[in-house]
Amino acid sequence: MARMRTGATADPASDAWRFLRHYLEMVLAMAAGMPVFGVLFMSPLDPFGYRAVLGAYPYVRELVMLVTMSLPMVGFMVYRGHSLRRTMEMLAGMALPAVAVIGLTATAWVPFLTAGTLFVFSHVAMLAGMFAAMLYRRAEYGQGHHPHAHPAPEA
């Protein structure tokens, strides 16, 4: 008879480490998208002519950057064996706060959110949103990788 994994182990310190490790791995996966963004869209060599356009439209630049950071994060989640639902939850946790910051900046509703501060606040929002999505499923992210929603071996 197959047993399902119940999530957290008996060792809270191990669960906390796995949770933190997963978060750091996700941040590194997101960071892997930054050089791609830089080379394709912001290179001084300007291979495609996007640099001037994105420089003139900081909100579009942030959205393009969000996409280039999201793709490796989604790939990492899939590689680690997370379900499509959990992957989309994480993507929403990352993207929605950043899009909210972009919208608040574009509409000038919050005085300290300006084109000059957009980069910092959108990234803080991404990181906080991802962390919140992980906290929502903390038992799952506190366990080892690949066993998510898969049955344990038969006893």
Q: Report pLDDT digits (tens) over 22-81.
A: 899 989 999 998 888 877 777 777 667 777 777 788 888 899 889 999 999 999 999 988
Report the pLDDT value the prediction gives residue 9, as an integer from 0 to 100: 54
CA pair distance 77, 52, nearest whole angstrom: 33
Global pTM value = 0.75
Q: In the structure, what pLDDT confidence band is assigned to residue 15 with cuts at 50, 70 and 90?
A: confident
β-strand partners of 4: 151
Q: In the structure, what pLDDT confidence band is assigned to residue 149 with cuts at 50, 70 and 90?
A: very low
Question: What are the structural domain ranges in the chain?
Answer: 12-141
